[in-house]
Amino acid sequence: MISHPLTGVYAAAITPLNEDYSIDFSAVTPLLDRLARRGCHGALILGTTGEGPSFSPDERIALCKAALQVRQTRPDFKLLAGTGTPSLNETVSLTKAAFELGFDGVATLPPYYFRKASDEGLFAWFGEVLKRAVPTNGAFFGYHIPSVSGVSLSLDLLARLKDAFPDRFTGLKDSSADADHAQALGRRFGNDLLIYSGTDSLFQSALAGGASGCITALANLTSPDLRKVWDAYLRGSEDTAAHERLLKARAISDRYPPASSLLKAIMARVEGYAHWPVRPPLMHLPNETIDKALAEFRQAELLS
């Protein structure tokens, strides 16, 4: 699958907000352009890092429209939209809208309120979304982040979706942060599905195990190193130094959740962006916490 046009390094993009928690649409294109300049092949809009579930359907669609403006100067920049909600009809509407707008694909959470749904129920739910919202040869990715959604997407469920919708079900964003699970995905689906690693520190091993790229929160900061790991993989080698920096960056960021708050604070301090808020129930990190995180990133020489 490595030759597929959607492989590569993607950022789970943060969402710029005004002080009243409305979306700062004027900042969206510059933010995406920055990601492109720093080595990203594309971005996922409205994922976990982008606080997707905190926005209404109208807000999500408006943000998708704003994101498309990056194509005026970056025509090859790939865009994926997070479209999952607990509502089947709302998810169908958002997914259909993303494709109609011209997005390259969608990454869709399972219906996360019902945490004990069976594989049969999840297959029926995803099947309805795929049938009603995804065009033939559209790129639909499941979004596996059980620590947040509370719902796991089993290997057997993924295989069943792949077999039932071979021209629509394209792959998975795996944010389980589980090395064994990443290897199991690669062994079973590496030649048939696009598997994006959602964990920077596992990116190199996931590629070796059959992954086709990554979509990570830290790509907002560390995309140059992610791109080095990717480019080395395409050459048949490894960039050990870049991988080691990714290990350090992930270890630091994990100590200062949530990622959305940390990333917005660091980008404001280091790159001069406005210190965009996060929408409640997420909250700004205290200044002393930001100071500690920044000190760790700088001591490890991870900010450029």
Q: Are 172 and 195 in contact (CB under 8 A)?
A: yes
Helices 28-37 and 57-67, interaxial angle, to 10°? 50
| Token pair of 77 as six digits | 């920049």
Q: Are 302 and 222 in contact (CB under 8 A)?
A: yes
Residue 141 pairs in a beta bridge with 107, 171
DSSP state of 76: T
Burial of 117 (0-12, 13-18, 19+ CB in 10 A): middle
Q: Is the peptide bond before 258 cis (omega within 30 degrees of 0)?
A: yes
What residues are labeled active site? 48, 113, 143, 173
